Amino acid sequence: MDHFTVVTNCLDATRAFYEQLGLSVGPRPDFGPVDGLWLYAQDHAVLHVVTVPTMPSPRRGAIDHMAFFGEGIAALLETFVQQGRPYKLIRLPRPWSTWQVFVDDPNGAEVEIDFDAAEQVPAHLKSAARPW
């Protein structure tokens, strides 16, 4: 796996969303008139964002969602609650017990963030999640 590409007509909101998840903007080739940015996880550009004047209709592709590993689930969920951003929260069955958070980015792409089973989620953040 190398990267995902997201198209957006709201670049600033898209950038802020993914930076909040721990990605950082880094170098991007000059694609001429095609604006956008590349977001990195450590030293690898895992998400390419392309700016479009209007979102394509119909939307392209068949990817269901993209997933990342995360740390600090409680802090992230608190931020989502403060922003009024809906999220889904599940815990995988044993023996994994991994926490999974599902949230839509500003363009409607579903993002999954997986957290270690040892992380703690306060009750108020469990009850704030959207039902499955």
- pLDDT tens track for 47-59: 999 998 887 777 7
Residue that has been written with the tokens 């990605």 in this structure = 23
pLDDT for 21-52, tens place per residue?
999 999 999 888 889 999 999 999 999 999 98
In a domain, 93, yes or no: yes
Task: Assess whether 31 and 82 both reside in one domain.
Answer: no
- In angstroms, the CA 95 to CA 108 distance is 32
Task: Assess whether 69 and 129 both reside in one domain.
Answer: yes
Domain extent for 83: 64-132
Per the omega criterion (within 30 degrees of 0), is the bond before 95 cis? yes
Total count of domains within the chain: 2
Look at the pTM and tell me if it is higher than 0.85: no
- CATH number of the domain that residue 4 is part of: 3.10.180.10
In a domain, 59, yes or no: no
Task: Assess whether 122 and 77 both reside in one domain.
Answer: yes
Task: Assess whether 49 and 68 both reside in one domain.
Answer: no
